[in-house]
Amino acid sequence: MRLTPELSAIEAYLRRAPYLHAYELGDLDPRELPHTTWLANQPVDGVVLLYRGLTTPTVVALAHDDPAATHRLLENAELPARFYAHLTTGLEAALTPRFHGELLGHHMKMGLTAKAAEIPADPEVTRLGPADGDEALAFYAVSYPTTVFEPVTLERGPYTAIRDARGIAAIAGVHVYSPTQRVASLGNIATRPDARGVGHAQRVTAALCRLLAPEIDVIGLNVRGDNTAAIACYHAVGFAPRHFYEEWVFTAR
């Protein structure tokens, strides 16, 4: 198997399924590239990304056609002792001889089909910045304790929020944000438990899509396949299902 560092060939492969590969495309951005390691064969028919930009590394290995090439790349990849992974179903078998895997859930990738620029403005939704990091951390500790959020992400892309008398009521953010690649993937969308059921999540998500519209063409997001309330919320904004995958955490045996 010949490996290639030619990012143009990797990007061409990823662009064939941009909503499936939104994370990888975003990490080709010059700001994120120093945090990445890429594995691909030549000619490219499979790609594995190792991202080290957060405390725990993440491996992304998603196949939009025959997964055999991606399976071989994973089998031979030099990986850290512990990492999160986004995998096409079945690719975990390439890792289990060397790592203990814990399945975190079956997930769906959705893509925005509505025209983001035509989403009405919402004056009650505000944009968060780095100064809001501690408040956002406290919000997620109560509202979404299992999510991976680090305040540095407020410097890397837009987050929107609604506040009420008790503080932040809902937040929508981005896991991937690249105007250069014109791609974004939303994430860390949550509502405070006592503020649920009144449409806050839909509003902050819609406002974030509108905010992204001038510089982003591909707007996607990931959602657990059994989270029917969230899926309904995203449908209402204008998202539709695109692909399915699994999220794992692996630890060396």
Strand pairing class (47-51; 239-252): unpaired
Separation between Cα atoms, residue 180 and residue 156, nearest integer Å: 13
Q: How many CA atoms lie within 13 A of 185 on its CB side?
A: 19
Same-domain pairing of 93 and 133: no
pLDDT digits (tens, 9 = 90+) for 53-84: 888 999 999 999 899 999 999 999 999 999 99
Same-domain pairing of 128 and 190: yes
| Strand positions, DSSP E, the chain | 36-40, 47-51, 58-61, 82-87, 99-112, 125-128, 159-164, 167-178, 183-191, 218-224, 239-252
According to the model, what pLDDT value does residue 135 have? 97
Same-domain pairing of 40 and 94: yes
Same-domain pairing of 165 and 56: no
Residue at 140 is within a domain: yes
Residue at 1 is within a domain: no
Same-domain pairing of 125 and 233: yes
Residue at 57 is within a domain: yes
| Domain-terminating residue out of 76, 108, 140 | 108
| Domain-terminating residue out of 108, 130, 147 | 108
Q: Which of 224, 205, 228, 208 is nearest to 216 (CA)?
A: 208
According to the model, what pLDDT value does residue 86 have? 98
Separation between Cα atoms, residue 36 and residue 42, nearest integer Å: 19
Same-domain pairing of 139 and 100: no
Same-domain pairing of 139 and 219: yes
Instruction: Extract the residue ranges of the chain whose pLDDT is less than 50.
Output: 1-2
User: Is the distance from CB of 140 to CB of 149 less than 8 angstroms?
Assistant: yes
Q: Which domain holds residue 14?
A: 7-108
According to the model, what pLDDT value does residue 1 have? 42
